Amino acid sequence: MSNKYADRSHVVKIIFIVIGALFIGRLAILQIFNPEYREKGTQQSLRNITQYPARGFIYDRHGKLLVHNEAVYDLMVIPRMVKNLDTNYFCQCLEITRSDFDERMNKARKYSPYSASIFIKQISKEDYAKFENKMFRFKGFYISQRTLRIYDRPIAAQVLGYVGEVNQADLDRDPYYKRGDYIGKSGLEKSYEEVLRGIKGKKIMHVDVHNREIGPYQNGRFDSVPVEGCNLYTTIDADLQTYAEELMANKRGCVVAIEPSTGEVLAMVSAPTYDPNLLVGRIRGKNYNMLNSDIAKPMLNRALLGQYPPGSIFKIAQSMVALDLGVITPGTGFACDKSLVGCHNHPSARTVQEAIKMSCNPYYYQVYRRVIQQGKYKNIYKDSQYGLTVWRKYMLRFGFGQKLDIDLPKSGISTGNIPDTAYYNRWYGRERWAFSTIYSNSIGQGEVTVVPIQMANLAAIVANRGYYITPHMVRFYGDDSVRNEEYMKRHETGVKKEYFEIAANGMYDVVHVAGGTARRARVDGLDICGKTGTAENYGNDHSVFICFAPKNNPKIAMAVYVENAQGGGGTWAAPIAGLLVEKYLNGEVKRKDVEKMYKEINPCQKLPLTRRVKKVKKRG
């Protein structure tokens, strides 16, 4: 006899099986497949801690420490875990107001209730020591250690750069970074960010109900050790950099010094400058706003971004181009005809060497005319277009009119301007301009502008007798002494070496021979070769000087640019350069009276130097 309830029992079994499957499925969804619930569960007992690597140190060319790290602490919060908090006591311990607390907590909740974010960043080790023993009372908060940059010497701020918190653009560009991370924002800190930053590690810790760490998760199986960043060994001579900044105090302008044989930048000064330690720690934001709003623009690197008329230093390049084209010879002379262009009083130059020494404006008016109007076309406008095109190609080979590929952020480098035919066609119309329209270029005025690092590079080209190696700031990095081979290549100008020998002789005469325009740069026992420039300006003219030394086997090439300096290149830029060369080559400066005067004086004021020089006429 069959059981009449058998079919019902099967139905009941099926119902129980389906219900059980539903429960199992739901549990699987909640605990395995649903990341939200899995994350909530995990965060109740586990803490993911980012292990920040120590950022690489930065040294000068002699191994002197420029930038190192100091430990600081970020107070992290997981909003969901904050419970039973005595807010008043918490604020009292951290010396913040209740409104500060509410603002920070709302920001953290907005970011994520379940993930950790920074509540207070960069707590000093002294403040952390006071707070450490009270942490157990504040559930949902914990400390994450990181390092802060410390600058051993208050120098080279615009070169070294600074580190700041990542913004949204940084996060979008590189998935390596997370909210609250820090990144190089300018200078070497930015251009060598991937070398300096290292590799982050992580640590997963078990925590108890009181938010205390009780041990590593699965004995640290999923932990990783941070890898320290590589150290940078720069080309900077810290002592020369310091001295140059002292000499440029109370002034606006810049100094760039290069080792000609390698292209290594020995010093790069932009004045006014600032102490790089101002942009470190919790005061960085306030100080950044202060510096950024300063009308003197201390954060601007004039050595790379300043675009100035070169003045008479440009006559060196003009001479080399004209000689190489064959439109003049080493013995070509021109009368100092002031009806063509104004000039100071001196005898007429009979040779290129004399023209460089005396910096004769009418001489270079004639030289440039021969370069621009070569007689290739009967039509003077077409002939001038041809000449300008040839001239510009030479100037580009000298590194003008383009960004020199120095290893600093490209956004912070200017090109200067070497005008082409299209430039003048836009201004004057096609075949409506000729040499007579653009002759101011002959003496480094007009539409020509250059960047100070290009000026120093010109001095290096003459020092090397016709080539340069791209200026750069880092010699090598890391324990393996990694070098960038791009900064070991020669860039040839294509001009014959013997013509540069003429330029070197002329520049020697500028400093050492009667009638030269830079006698104030002279240092006993040093064969300094230089060229002055006085760049016209709406206010006081700018003072310009380039030089290299010694004449044979040069060790240093330099450009000094002092803005709005009364008296011209020979009065300001030249003596400052002479002091710097003396310091670098001799190790000390013996002319203490000259040193004191140029450290203290301001060229924008009528100070003792102006009375001493009295009626100095403008000289090239």
Amino acid letter, 438: I
Give, in order, the Cα–Cα distances in Å from 340 to each of 336, 347, 365, 369: 9, 16, 7, 11
- Residue 610: pLDDT band with limits 50, 70, 90: very low
Position 606 scores a pLDDT of: 52
Position 337 scores a pLDDT of: 93
Which distant-in-sequence residues (6+ apart) come within 8 Å of 603 by Cβ?
251, 540, 543, 562, 564, 565, 566, 567, 572, 609
- Residue 537: pLDDT band with limits 50, 70, 90: confident
- Residue 14: pLDDT band with limits 50, 70, 90: confident
Position 617 scores a pLDDT of: 36
Position 263 scores a pLDDT of: 97
Position 619 scores a pLDDT of: 41
CA quadruple 377, 381, 382, 386: dihedral sign: positive
Q: Is the pLDDT of residue 607 over 50?
A: no
Lowest mean pLDDT among 27-41, 44-58, 297-311, 471-485: 27-41
Token pair belonging to 603: 């060229």
Task: Tell me the average pLDDT across 481-492.
Answer: 91
Position 28 scores a pLDDT of: 66
Amino acid letter, 538: Y
Contact yes or no for 534/563 (Cβ under 8 A): no
Q: Is the pLDDT of residue 34 over 70?
A: no
Burial classification of residue 596, based on how many CB atoms lie within 10 Å of its CB (0-12 exposed, 13-18 middle, 19 or more buried): exposed
CA dist., res. 218 & res. 206, Å (int): 9
Task: Tell me the average pLDDT across 186-190.
Answer: 96
Per DSSP bridges, beta strands 46-51 and 201-207 are: antiparallel
Position 410 scores a pLDDT of: 93
Position 603 scores a pLDDT of: 76
Q: Is the pLDDT of residue 4 over 90?
A: no
Lowest mean pLDDT among 1-10, 353-362, 438-447, 571-580: 1-10
Helix (H), strand (E) at residue 254: strand 253-259
Position 7 scores a pLDDT of: 62
DSSP 603: T
CA dist., res. 73 & res. 121, Å (int): 7
Cite the DSSP H helix spans in 306-450.
314-325, 352-358, 361-372, 380-397, 421-428, 435-438
Per DSSP bridges, beta strands 65-77 and 58-59 are: antiparallel
Position 2 scores a pLDDT of: 52
Burial classification of residue 266, based on how many CB atoms lie within 10 Å of its CB (0-12 exposed, 13-18 middle, 19 or more buried): buried
Tell me: the pLDDT tens digits for 383-441?
A: 999 999 999 999 999 999 999 999 999 999 999 999 999 999 999 998 899 999 999 99
- Residue 569: pLDDT band with limits 50, 70, 90: confident
Position 9 scores a pLDDT of: 66
- Cα angle: 591, vertex 595, 601; to 5 degrees: 145
CA dist., res. 14 & res. 8, Å (int): 10
- Residue 207: pLDDT band with limits 50, 70, 90: confident
- Residue 135: pLDDT band with limits 50, 70, 90: confident
Burial classification of residue 490, based on how many CB atoms lie within 10 Å of its CB (0-12 exposed, 13-18 middle, 19 or more buried): exposed
Contact yes or no for 570/346 (Cβ under 8 A): no
Q: Is the pLDDT of residue 40 over 70?
A: no
Q: Is the pLDDT of residue 30 over 80?
A: no
Share of the chain above pLDDT 70, in %: 90
Position 614 scores a pLDDT of: 36
- Residue 212: pLDDT band with limits 50, 70, 90: low
CA dist., res. 400 & res. 388, Å (int): 14
Q: Is the pLDDT of residue 291 over 50?
A: yes
CA dist., res. 115 & res. 491, Å (int): 53
- Residue 246: pLDDT band with limits 50, 70, 90: very high
Position 10 scores a pLDDT of: 64
Strand pairing partners for 76? 118, 142
Q: Is the pLDDT of residue 608 over 60?
A: no
Which distant-in-sequence residues (6+ apart) come within 8 Å of 243 by Cβ?
579, 580, 583
The chain-wide mean pLDDT, for the chain, equals 88
Burial classification of residue 5, based on how many CB atoms lie within 10 Å of its CB (0-12 exposed, 13-18 middle, 19 or more buried): exposed
Position 322 scores a pLDDT of: 98
